[in-house]
Structure formats: structure tokens, C-alpha cells
Structure 1
Amino acid sequence: MPTITFVSNDNKTVEAPENSNLLRVSLREKGGIPFKCGGGLCGTCKCLIEEGLAHTDAIKAKERKHFSEEEFAAGHRLACQTFVNGDIKVSWVLRP
């Protein structure tokens, strides 16, 4: 099972089934990713995949409203739209 490390939450580490939604794992395991809508509209769950970006699924159309191509390349995603297929480290204190 993939390991998810919530860097902004004292490096809390949890395991989740493959193809798990990042925000749902955070909610279930008290990972701490902030959120409001959970549907890709508000952008509250913006996060940064610090390690393991290749272990996330394809970028969704809803995410394109919140980030530039450069931000995607740097690892920015919406947790509610991201599914995890391998080990990642994620934070939500975004860098400018």
C-alpha cells in the first residue's frame, strides 16, 4: 500500500489503498489538509506534492482553474482531485 506523509502535519505518515483520493485519506487519517468544498471548486485544498509526483494521477480540468503549468510542474495539486498510486510526501504551505 502507498505511504502518504503529511509534511505540514509533523510528517504524519499513513498507509492507504492504491488509487486513494488524497483529501479523503487526509480526512480519514486526520492528515490535516485544509478543505471546504471537496469538489475542486474553491481551491482550499491546494497542496504541494514534495516527493512522488509521478505517483499521482493525471491533472483534472477543475485543477487547471487554480494553477499554472509551471505550478503543476513544481508539484501543486488540489487534494480533492488527486489520486495516489505510490508513496508521496505532501504539504499545504505553498511556496510562492
Structure 2
Amino acid sequence: MIQVTFLTNGGKVVTAPEDSNLLRVSLREQGGIPFKCGGGICGTCKCKIEQGIENTDGVKPKERKHLTEEQFKEGYRMACQTFLKGDVSVSWQPRPAASAPVRPASAEPSS
């Protein structure tokens, strides 16, 4: 078993079998990595492997559509495309909380 630490989710630590998909581990263990499609199309699951980048598989073509070479060098990956060979620590940009729609002030009726 390998260890995955979800830094942005309070440092939550979980275990998973080797060769597990990072996004699937996050979903199963409530790790918190944001996602929309899960298939490499939207780029929502962009995350940073803070420790253990050497324990991930190779970059996929779908990731190259959303991330730059500079981002890969900094440790960024798409969770849905990343399979784990060993322990990793991962962080991500939290999604902004949904806010209530702002309604325009209604005009005062004239007398």
C-alpha cells in the first residue's frame, strides 16, 4: 500500500494500492481534489505533487492540453490522469465557495 497526503484538505492521510489513480483515491477517500469530468477534458483536477513526483507515472497527452512544461517542472499534474507508484503529498487551489447571486437594487417607484 502507498500513502497519499491531501495537504489542502488539512493534511488528510490515506492509503491506497500501488498503481491507483489519484483522482479516484481522492473521490473514494474524500480527499477533496476538485473535479468536473474525470476524463482529462476539463482540467479542473489540476493539482501539485508537493512530495513524491518521482512516484507518479508519465505525463499523458491530455495533460499537455491543460498544463505547460513549466507547470510540469513545478510538479503540477491532472489528478484524473495520474497513477501512483509510491507515496505522494498533493495540494491544489481550492475552488471559491459558491456565493448567492447579487440582485440589483430595485428602483423606488416615483410618486
Q: Does 1:54 align with 2:54?
A: yes
What is the total number of aligned residue pairs between the two structures?
A: 94
Aligned equivalent of 1:4: 4
Structure 1, unaligned runs of 5 or more: none
Of all paired residues, the percent bearing the same amino acid is: 65
Aligned equivalent of 1:79: 79
CA drift at 1:45 = 0.3
Structure 2, unaligned runs of 5 or more: 95-111
> 3-state SS of the aligned residue for 1:26?
helix
Aligned equivalent of 1:42: 42
> 3-state SS of the aligned residue for 2:36?
coil
TM-score (norm 2): 0.83
Deviations 1:19-65 (A, max 9, x none): 00000000000000000000000000000000000000000000000
CA drift at 1:93 = 1.8
Aligned equivalent of 2:20: 20
Larger Rg: 2
Alpha-carbon distance in structure 2 between the residues aligned to 1:44 and 1:68: 15
Aligned equivalent of 1:70: 70
CA drift at 1:4 = 0.2
Q: Alignment RMSD, CA only?
A: 0.9
Q: Tell me: higher relative CO, structure 1 or 2? Use CA pairs within 8 A at least 6 residues apart.
A: 1
